[in-house]
Amino acid sequence: MRLRSFRSGSFILKFGTFLLFIELFYVIHLIISNIVWTDMDGNILFLMLNKEHRIDRFLKSYEGDCEISLRKQNLRKNTTLCDCLPSVTEHKITINTARTPTWNEIANKYNKTLSSKGEYKPNDCEPLQSVAIIIPYMKRDSHLKILINHLHFILPRQKIHYRIFVIEQNSPSIFNKAAIMNIGFVEAGKLFNFTCSIFHDVDMLAEDGRNMYNCLYSPRHIGSHVNKYGYRLFYNELIGGALAITPKHFRRVNGYSTSFYGWGGEDDDMKNRLSAQSLKITRFPKEISRFTMLKHEQDKHNPTNKFRRSAVDTRKLVYEKDGLNSLNYSIVETRERSLFTLIKANLYISQHNQFNKIKGSCKETRYFLTKSISTDSIEDCSILCYNDQRCLSFDFYANYCRKHFKPCVIEDSNKENRYVYDKKEKSKYLKYFIYEQIDTFTCVQNRMETFGL
Ligand code: UDP
Ligand code: BGC
Ligand code: MN
C-alpha cells in the first residue's frame, strides 16, 4: 500500500512538472512570437505573431501608405474609394501551367472585363493609383500568354486601375533587360498617365491575390518569395522578379542602368541606386508574396554576364550618368493589342566588349589615363573606363581590398604587377594602374613593405 501511494504521489509530481513545462513553453512561445524582426535597414521582415494576426497587422500598417496619388487629386464628394488593402477573400490562386492558352482564348475570356485595350479600371469605386505594368520581353511567347492570362484574372479582383505594357527587344541579339525596362517606363508614360510602375518578369506568377499590384511610399519587392528558391528570400538585397516603384522614385535614381547586357546584376545595381537615395525596400509577408516562376532554361541570347559583380560594384558610382538619361533606342513598332500594348525597340547602347575581352577601346582608355594624369578620383576613373570591363573588374578588386586594408595594394598572382589603391595617393594609383587581367589576387596590407618604401 505504502509503495503504491508513493508511486501515485510521484506520478502526480511528474504530471505537475510536466504541466509546468508546458505552461513555461507556452509563455516562452508567447514572448518569442510577438517579436518584430527587422532587417539591417530597420524594415519589418516579419512580425512573429500568430499567422493571421501577423498578416493582419502588417496590412494595417500599410493602410494609407498607398494613397500616394490621391493626396493631389480633387476627389468629388461621396466618392467611394477602392480598397487599398486587399479585399479579395478567395486569395489562393491555383496555378496550372499544364496547357498554354491561345491568344484568342485569353482575349475571349477578358474582352468584357477590360475597360479598353490592355487596360482595366473599376467602375464601382475610385481607384487609388494608376498602375503601369512593364514586362521586359524577348522570345518567351508561351510565358507571355500564361502571364497575361494570369494578370487579367487576378488584377480586376484587386480593383486597381492598370494597363499592361510588353516591351520587346528587337535588336541587338543579346538581351538588355534593364535598358528595355527603362524604355518601357518612358514609352508607357507617353501613352498612360500612371502613378505607379511595376517592373515584372514574364515568368513570374503571383500565387496570392492579396499581393496588391500597387505602390507604397517605399519601393516594394512584390515577388520576394519564389518557388525557385523554396519560397525564401534568396538574399536580403534581392529585388528582382517584380518591383513596384513610383515614377518619382524611379526618376530619382535615374531608372535602371543601361550597361548590363546578358543575365544578372541589373537588379542588384538598382538596389544600390535605391540605397544611395535612402529608399528602403518593403516586402509583404511571405504568405502573401509567394510567386511561381515558370520553369525555363537559360536563354541563349541572354548569357550570364560574367562581369556583373564588378559592374554592380562600380556602376553605382556613375548612376547619375547611366540610366534613363543615357538611353539610346528607336521604336520599331507600338501596337495596342486587345490584352496589352506591345512596344518593340532597337537598342543602340554599347555592349562594352563584355563578351570579347581582346578587342575594344582599351588602348584609348589607357592613353587617356597615362597621358592625362589629371584624373583625380577613382570615380572618374570608372567613368573613363566605361568601355573597358577589365578596368571595371580591377575596380572591383580594389574596392574589395580597400574594405579590408587601408591603404591597399593588390598584387597579381605572378607578383609582377602591383596596384596601389589609396584615394590620397592618386598619382601612385594611376602609376601602377596597368591594364592586366587579374585572375587571382591578394590584398597586401602593408604597402611600405611591398614597395620597400
Ligand atoms: N527575358 C526575356 N527573354 C529572354 C531573357 C529574359 O523575355 O531571352 C525577360 C523575361 O521577362 C524574364 C526576365 O527577363 O522573366 C528575367 O530573365 P530570366 O527569367 O532568365 O532570369 P531569372 O530571374 O530566371 O534568373
Ligand atoms: C544576380 C541577380 C539575380 C539573382 C538571383 C544574382 O547573382 O546578379 O540579377 O536576380 O542572382 O538569381
Ligand atoms: Mn526566370
More confident of the two residues 309 and 216:
216
Q: What's the pLDDT at 32?
A: 57
In whole angstroms, how far apart are CA 415 and each of 37, 429, 436, 440, 441? 47, 17, 12, 10, 9
Band (pLDDT 50/70/90 cuts) for residue 242 is very high
Least confident of 36-50, 66-80, 222-236, 266-280: 36-50
Task: Determine the Cα–Cα distance for residues 401 and 450; give it in Å rounded to an integer.
Answer: 15
**Ligand 2 atom at minimum distance from 234 CA:** 5
| DSSP helix/strand/coil, 420 | strand
Task: Determine the Cα–Cα distance for residues 244 and 152; give it in Å rounded to an integer.
Answer: 18
What's the 364 CA to ligand 2 centre distance in angstroms?
A: 32
Q: Is the pLDDT of residue 86 over 60?
A: yes
Helices (H), ranges, 82-127: 103-110
Q: What's the pLDDT at 296?
A: 94
For atom 4 of ligand 1, the residue with the nearest CA is 138
What's the 1 CA to ligand 2 centre distance in angstroms?
A: 73
Q: Is the pLDDT of residue 307 over 60?
A: yes
More confident of the two residues 432 and 327:
327
CB atoms within 10 A of CB 423: 13
2-23 confidence digits (pLDDT tens): 444 545 677 888 888 888 888 8
Round the average pLDDT of the chain to a whole number and report it. Answer: 75
SS3 content of the chain, % helix, strand, coil (to 5): 40, 20, 45
Task: Determine the Cα–Cα distance for residues 422 and 429; give it in Å rounded to an integer.
Answer: 7
Q: Is the pLDDT of residue 84 over 70?
A: yes
Band (pLDDT 50/70/90 cuts) for residue 312 is confident
For atom 19 of ligand 1, the residue with the nearest CA is 203
Percentage of the chain beyond pLDDT 90 is 45
CB atoms within 10 A of CB 22: 10
> Cβ distance 319 to 325 under 8 Å?
no
Q: What is the mean pLDDT of residues 395-408?
A: 48
Ligand whose nearest atom lies closest to the CA of 134: 1
323-339 confidence digits (pLDDT tens): 999 999 999 999 999 99
What's the 265 CA to ligand 2 centre distance in angstroms?
A: 6
For atom 20 of ligand 1, the residue with the nearest CA is 298
Q: What is the mean pLDDT of residues 377-396?
A: 36
What's the 201 CA to ligand 1 centre distance in angstroms?
A: 6
Ligand whose nearest atom lies closest to the CA of 299: 1
Q: What's the pLDDT at 63?
A: 63
Q: Is the pLDDT of residue 120 over 90?
A: yes
Q: What is the mean pLDDT of residues 159-185?
A: 96
Q: Is the pLDDT of residue 377 over 60?
A: no
Q: What's the pLDDT at 136?
A: 98
Q: Is the pLDDT of residue 317 over 60?
A: yes
| DSSP helix/strand/coil, 407 | coil
* Residue in 145, 170, 299, 347 to alter for ligand 1 test, most ligand atoms within 8 A of Cβ: 299
Cβ of 159 closer than 6 Å to ligand 2, yes or no, is no
What is 79-347's CATH topology? Spore Coat Polysaccharide Biosynthesis Protein SpsA; Chain A (3.90.550)
Ligand whose nearest atom lies closest to the CA of 298: 1
Cβ of 308 closer than 6 Å to ligand 2, yes or no, is yes
Residue 395 C-alpha cell reads as: 575596380
Q: What is the mean pLDDT of residues 164-179?
A: 96
**Ligand 1 atom at minimum distance from 240 CA:** 23
Task: Determine the Cα–Cα distance for residues 185 and 216; give it in Å rounded to an integer.
Answer: 18
- The correct answer on CATH 3.90.1150.10 for the domain covering 349-430 is no
| pTM higher than the cut 0.85 | no
Q: What's the pLDDT at 53?
A: 65
Distance of CA 405 to the CA centre of its chain: 31
What's the 233 CA to ligand 2 centre distance in angstroms?
A: 12
For atom 9 of ligand 2, the residue with the nearest CA is 264
Task: Determine the Cα–Cα distance for residues 336 and 258; give it in Å rounded to an integer.
Answer: 26
Q: What's the pLDDT at 405?
A: 43
What's the 418 CA to ligand 2 centre distance in angstroms?
A: 32
* Residue in 143, 169, 170, 203 to alter for ligand 1 test, most ligand atoms within 8 A of Cβ: 203
* Residue in 144, 145, 151, 177 to alter for ligand 1 test, most ligand atoms within 8 A of Cβ: 177
Least confident of 4-18, 365-379, 435-449: 365-379
What's the 229 CA to ligand 3 centre distance in angstroms?
A: 12
Residue 25 C-alpha cell reads as: 513553453
Q: Is the pLDDT of residue 419 over 60?
A: no
For atom 11 of ligand 2, the residue with the nearest CA is 264
Q: Where are the domains of the chain?
A: 79-347, 349-430
